[in-house]
Amino acid sequence: MNKRWTINEINQFVEKSSESRLLSTEFHGFSQKLSFECACGAQFEKTFTKFKNKHQRKCDVCQPPKASR
Ligand SMILES: [Zn+2]
């Protein structure tokens, strides 16, 4: 059972749980890439799933993706 997120709820989640800011104004589903602004000012795109479940809440500079083996 998946919770249905609205763009407002996502906005609040981003504010509460990260230093990034949500730039997207529409949410169409978990496979959609959302635009964020990192605390450093850089913009990055991520799906909300990654942001929320994989704790990828900063840009690739502040939080480099883990190198895959
Ligand atoms: Zn950054």
Q: Tell me the pLDDT tens digit for each residue of 39-54.
A: 999 999 999 999 999 9
Q: How far is the CA of 68 from the centre of ligand 1 (A)?
A: 21
The C-alpha atoms of residue 58 and residue 63 are separated, in whole angstroms, by 6
Q: Which amino acid is at 26?
A: E
What residue type is assigned to position 61 of the chain? V
For residue 44, what are the β-bridge partners?
36
Ion ligand 1 neighbours, Cβ < 5 Å: 38, 40, 42, 59, 61-62
- Ramachandran sector of residue 45 (left: φ over 0; alpha: ψ -120 to 50; beta: rest): beta
Instruction: Tell me what pLDDT residue 65 has.
Output: 77
Q: Where are the domains of the chain?
A: 1-69
CA–CA gap between residue 45 and residue 33 (Å, rounded): 6
pLDDT at 63: 93
- When pLDDT is cut at 50, 70 and 90, the band that residue 1 belongs to is low
